Structure 1
């Protein structure tokens, strides 16, 4: 009985388990090569999801700036607060996603 890492959730499981006890992924009959292929696919799916989130955050950030400088809302108005909120949320969301991508690459 050897310990293997689940290709789906990366948590340890026994090689004799039919399914991963953590994520219920089918482990029975997988070769080492197929486990590596599944793990690589899972990595690229996660990376693509984080890149999509980064793109959406960047769009939110830039749309806040675009509205702020094209419409020039009154100071202390609701429009100004929404623009500043969109800029702040988009910027923080973008930074967080980029950090998550860096940690994903280090795994």
Structure 2
């Protein structure tokens, strides 16, 4: 009994399983082409999720800048600190997601 990765969810399972206990994907009778298709679908879904998160982070980042320069909140007010927080959060989140996308492409 060997441990393999499920082609659909990438979780470790036994090679004796006919159905993945994690994602309920039928594994019995899958040839190599179908396994590759499932793995590719998983890759595309992960990449799309990271791209969506990057887009949301970019919106938060740009929204903070837009609010900061259009409303010009008072110095050291809660409004200004919230705006700076949104800018910093959006920027860091965007950079982290871009790094995760690069690492996903390399794997």
Q: What is aligned with 2:106?
A: 106
In 2, Cα distance between equivalents of 1:11 and 1:73: 49
In 1, Cα distance between equivalents of 2:20 and 2:76: 54
Q: What is aligned with 1:72?
A: 72
Deviation at 1:2, TM superposition (A): 5.7
In 1, Cα distance between equivalents of 2:44 and 2:32: 19
TM-score by length of 1: 0.88
Query: How far does the alpha carbon of each residue in 1:2-46 deviate from its partner, in whole angstroms, 9 at most, with x for none?
Result: 654311222343332112244443212211110100110110011
In 2, Cα distance between equivalents of 1:11 and 1:87: 36
In 2, Cα distance between equivalents of 1:25 and 1:95: 34
Q: What is aligned with 1:10?
A: 10
Equivalent residues in 2 for 1:52-91, closer than 5 Å: 52-91=52-91
- For residue 64 of structure 1, give the secondary structure of its aligned residue in structure 2: helix
TM-score by length of 2: 0.88
In 2, Cα distance between equivalents of 1:83 and 1:51: 24
In 2, Cα distance between equivalents of 1:61 and 1:22: 36
Equivalent residues in 2 for 1:32-43, closer than 5 Å: 32-43=32-43
In 1, Cα distance between equivalents of 2:13 and 2:67: 52
Equivalent residues in 2 for 1:23-38, closer than 5 Å: 23-38=23-38
